[in-house]
Amino acid sequence: MIGLSRADADLRDAAAARRAVAAAAPHVVYHLAARAHVGDAWRDPGGTLQDNLLLAFNVLEAVAGEAPGAVVVAAGSSEVYGPPERLPVTEDALLRPQNPYAVSKAAADLLGGFYADARRLRVVRARAFNHVGPGQDPSYAVASFAQQVAAGPVVVTGNPDTRRDYTDVRDVVRAYRLLAERGLPGVFNVCSGRTASAAELVAALGRIAGVELEHRVDAALVRDHEVPEVRGSYDALRASTGWAPEIRLEQTLADALADARGR
């Protein structure tokens, strides 16, 4: 088992990042810190690009200097793939990021690969697709839909037809843990291999709640350069760790709705 510890530090500060890593003397570092909202990235592209790349750089430099034997599980994003040439997307697909957040994550992903190749760090690049579940901030789609269902019969969304690959966050965490225990550099999709549209998610939440919903589309919520469908393959992750998603989407939605009602 891997023991967990936590320290508060502003990872934009290289010295603070190095002190935090030195104090922890870690065997594993889970690098999850990022500005992670696509909508916010469109509003502040420069800040998103600067912060996400700087966070990754400072963490990797700190590990290289203070804990060079540690495994770094760098949480990436399926957004780096952009419009897929084929489905499901595999790890050898070209990176074609289509928004500022995706560009920032692609840069951080490539930086992780550089540190693995040139600095011999044990950097595992986990490209997570959409992960959802109870406790998620309602600025994200599924949590927003669940909160709206809990509040009343009207649900407002952006494009109802875009399809995304959703994985329960508890399955994602299990994947990260298995990758850390494996401890070898590489690139791995963390995904379910199935997709659902916003319209299907709303309809499923209505069935779970036992209410008839009115689904409205707000054109202001439709994003520029939105990719119609993203679906990943987790074959490489399964081959390396034995991982497969265990929590069905319907259970994830039910738990998200219960969490929203509890708030």
pLDDT at 39: 87
Please report which confidence band the pLDDT of residue 1 belongs to, taking 50, 70 and 90 as the band edges: very low
pLDDT tens figures, 117-156: 999 999 999 999 999 999 999 999 999 999 999 998 999 9
Rounded to an integer, what distance in angstroms lies between the CA atom of residue 91 and that of residue 193? 13
Phi and psi torsions of 30, nearest 5°: -95, 110
- Structure tokens given for 193: 């291999």
**pLDDT tens digits along 228-255:** 899 999 999 999 999 999 999 999 999 9
Name the nearest CA neighbour of 32 among 95, 102, 108: 108
Question: Which DSSP symbol is given to 221?
Answer: G
Residue 139 DSSP label = T
Alpha-helix runs per DSSP H in the chain: 14-24, 38-43, 45-66, 100-118, 141-151, 169-182, 198-209, 235-241, 249-262
* pLDDT per position as a tens digit, 147-200: 999 998 999 999 999 999 999 999 999 999 999 999 999 999 999 999 999 999
- The third-level CATH classification (topology) of the domain covering 14-262 is Rossmann fold (3.40.50)
Query: What whole-number percentage of the chain has pLDDT above 90?
Result: 91
The per-residue pLDDT for range 57-102, each reduced to its tens digit, is 999 999 999 999 999 999 999 999 999 999 999 999 999 999 999 9
- pTM of this structure: 0.94
What integer pLDDT is reported at residue 120 of this predicted model?
97
User: b vs e for 232-248, b when ≥16 Cβ sit within 10 Å of the residue's Cβ?
Assistant: bbbeebeeebebebebe
Neighbours of 210 (CB within 10 A): 6
Give residue 157's Cα distance to chain centre.
20
